[in-house]
Amino acid sequence: MESDVGVVVPAYQPDVEVLLPYLDAIRDAVDPAVIRVELDAPGEGVAEAIRKTGATVHVADGRRGKGTAITHGFEALDTDVFAFADADGSTDAESFATVIAAVGDGTDVAVGSRRHPDAEVTDHQSRVRRRFGDWFARLARGALGVDIHDFQCGAKALTRAAWQRIREHVFEGGFAWDFEVLAVADALGYEIEEVPVTWEDHPDSTVPPIRTALSFVRALAVVRHRAEALKGSGLHSAVTAERTPLVERDAIGKD
């Protein structure tokens, strides 16, 4: 797909020794029009070091949550394709480029997948955490009815047009943002493609530990109601509480 690409990297207190070379690798593999790092609660000198790579940096003093950071970054982009990658570099840059390249020719949303049969995974997770991830992926797939096997992989891309419709229906500001965006995309009729990636787990990742399982399940139930309401279900509409979308909250907006 011949189009310009904007990349957002949400980063909460990132390891600069990992992030800086990853940004360089993304630039080489993707050649994006812009790389924008949404940087939360950075240490001294971190923002300046990132800017030296040529990336645009937006700094927030506190932790906003992954979804809020990505949404803020997407709202600042002016490209044909919007993409994001997690700052820990778990999805290698070449795989990230493959995810982005999948957008187009009928595919509105592309999702990196560690659970695709063709994916290559180096896994350092504990057995309990790995099983929790597999269980949650199955639960989300069944509850949301979206034919995706990996909702949480930190590499996704979508067209600008798709984001303009999806954005009004996204409420989750944390790690639940990923599966809400996919549920909304599916409810709105967008074509979603799951793309295999080369992925290496990072034990010091900021992905929530297993103790947050209950909050994920609660968010999943709420997202299911919203997605079904978008499809026209009166029952689900009746139980969906009124909330303010992320794009209308004070934490979101252009610089």
- DSSP line for 201-241: --TT--S--GGGHHHHHHHHHHHHHHHHHHTT-HHHHHHPP
Q: Which of 154-158, 231-235, 244-248 ranks highest by mean pLDDT?
A: 154-158
What does the pLDDT read at residue 1?
43
For residues 163 and 171, give the distance between their C-alpha atoms in angstroms, rounded to a whole number.
Answer: 14
Q: What average pLDDT does the chain have?
A: 88
Please say if the pLDDT value at position 14 is more than 50. yes
Average pLDDT over residues 236-242: 59
88 within 8 A of 154, measured Cβ to Cβ? yes
For residues 255 and 113, give the distance between their C-alpha atoms in angstroms, rounded to a whole number.
Answer: 32
What does the pLDDT read at residue 59?
97
What does the pLDDT read at residue 111?
97
Which range is least confidently modeled, 163-172, 192-201, 235-244?
235-244
205 within 8 A of 12, measured Cβ to Cβ? no
114 within 8 A of 200, measured Cβ to Cβ? no
Q: Which two tokens stand for residue 131?
A: 């099983």
* DSSP 8-class letter at 169: G
For residues 91 and 156, give the distance between their C-alpha atoms in angstroms, rounded to a whole number.
Answer: 10
Spell out the domain ranges in the chain: 5-248
Please say if the pLDDT value at position 254 is more than 50. no
The CATH topology of domain 5-248 is Spore Coat Polysaccharide Biosynthesis Protein SpsA; Chain A (3.90.550)
What does the pLDDT read at residue 241?
65
CA distances from 155 to 8, 113, 169, 194 (A): 10, 8, 21, 11
Higher-confidence residue: 135 or 21? Answer: 21
Could you read off the pLDDT of 23-62 as tens digits, one per residue? 999 999 999 999 999 999 999 999 999 999 999 999 999 9
Q: Percent of the chain, pLDDT > 70? A: 85
